[in-house]
Amino acid sequence: MYRALFSLVLSRLDPEDAHHLAMRVIRIAGTRPIARMLRPFTRPDPSLAVSALGLDFPSPFGVAAGFDKDAHGALGLGALGFGHVEVGTITAVPQDGNPRPRLFRLIPDRAVVNRMGFNNAGAEAAAHRLARLRGRRDRPVLGVNIGKSRIVDVADATEDYVRSATLLAPLADYLAVNVSSPNTPGLRTLQAVESLAPLLRSVKDAAGATPLLVKIAPDLDDAEVDAVAALAVELGLDGIIATNTTLSRDGLASAPDVVAAAGAGGLSGAPLAGRALEVLRRVRAAVPADFCVISVGGVETAEDVRERLAAGATLVQGYTAFLYRGPFWARQINRGLVG
């Protein structure tokens, strides 16, 4: 049914408008009466529970950052069966992001190109919403992904991240530092270890007891992946999230003119799967066995999740396939992991 709805209706809508429509439905799913009806149908099997980061996850499968930018839909996403929700990316300063259109489907590739630019209402607004969620027993595990405010120079990024961490870490189950989005000018330069080390030290101090992870790009070369992994271990971080979106357009099935029309931005979805798996294996080989590695990129099926877990992922996240597979995607994944 969802495939027909997507083909006949949703695929004809502007992708960002379709996303906002979906978020309205997800927020309704998070209301107590609807969530109570959904949970017997969507609740992960107890055998899927995972302990990581000092937390109990009902399933290894969660929602990647970018889907719920302002922590509006976390309850609904949890009610749909996701074991955790990583909200954000949230910046210290509220910002509108890049001009629209800024989200594009590559349907033959089951992929998306986005240049959203960290559009969000800012850390203070997110803190108010997260504070309301904090005491809810029916909420999923909540990660908070923070990034650099666009108006802040890269040279001043540390103070900007620390401001967000100070506000949000006490309200998060874990905190993720995003230095790998391609849509904020200069941001990816922060992945160089000489820039990343002082930034992460300062954010770790600000985060206090909240587990801290760093999110890296698939476009790092192998030596750079190794260097970031070594740094994360040296600094006592709790994990790495691998990976963010890619700048690559290699091997796409979509027509070249469609790809060109989408323009600049990060590509996510099925074409990213191969490199995301390579980076996962490389990170896992470089970190201790108890170090949390969250794998993201090109995940569509339970078999994909199973492959990532077998390759060393502690947890797995998805986003883009949600657009193509519909609201009960997490239920499909969780049931497939049990079967």
114 is in an annotated binding site: yes
Can you tell me the distance from the alpha carbon of 311 to that of 88, in angstroms, rounded to the nearest whole number?
A: 27
269 is in an annotated binding site: yes
Write the burial class of residue 246 (CB in 10 Å: 0-12 exposed, 13-18 middle, 19+ buried). buried
120 is in an annotated binding site: no
98 is in an annotated binding site: no
65 is in an annotated binding site: yes
243 is in an annotated binding site: yes
Of the candidates 180, 181, 254, 295, the residue annotated as catalytic is 181
Specify the residue for token string 């922060």.
190
Closest CA to 217 of 242, 249, 200: 242
245 is in an annotated binding site: yes
Can you tell me the distance from the alpha carbon of 79 to that of 263, in angstroms, rounded to the nearest whole number?
A: 35
Contact 268, 116 (CB under 8 A): no
37 is in an annotated binding site: no
Name residue 165's amino acid: A
68 is in an annotated binding site: yes
Can you tell me the distance from the alpha carbon of 232 to that of 196, in angstroms, rounded to the nearest whole number?
A: 10
312 is in an annotated binding site: no
1 is in an annotated binding site: no
116 is in an annotated binding site: yes
301 is in an annotated binding site: no
Q: Is 59 a catalytic residue?
A: no
For residue 69 the two structure tokens come to 């930018």
97 is in an annotated binding site: no
Contact 275, 328 (CB under 8 A): no
Closest CA to 292 of 242, 225, 228, 235: 242
Measured over the CA atoms of residue 246, residue 250, residue 253 and residue 254, the dihedral's sign is positive
Contact 190, 154 (CB under 8 A): yes
119 is in an annotated binding site: no
For residue 81 the two structure tokens come to 């069966």
Q: Bin 13: left if φ > 0, else alpha if -120 < ψ < 50, else beta.
A: beta
Catalytically active residues, by annotation: 181
Binding residues for substrate: 69, 114-118, 178, 183, 244-245
Binding residues for FMN: 65-69, 89, 145, 178, 215, 243, 269, 298, 319-320
Binding residues: 65-69, 89, 114-118, 145, 178, 183, 215, 243-245, 269, 298, 319-320
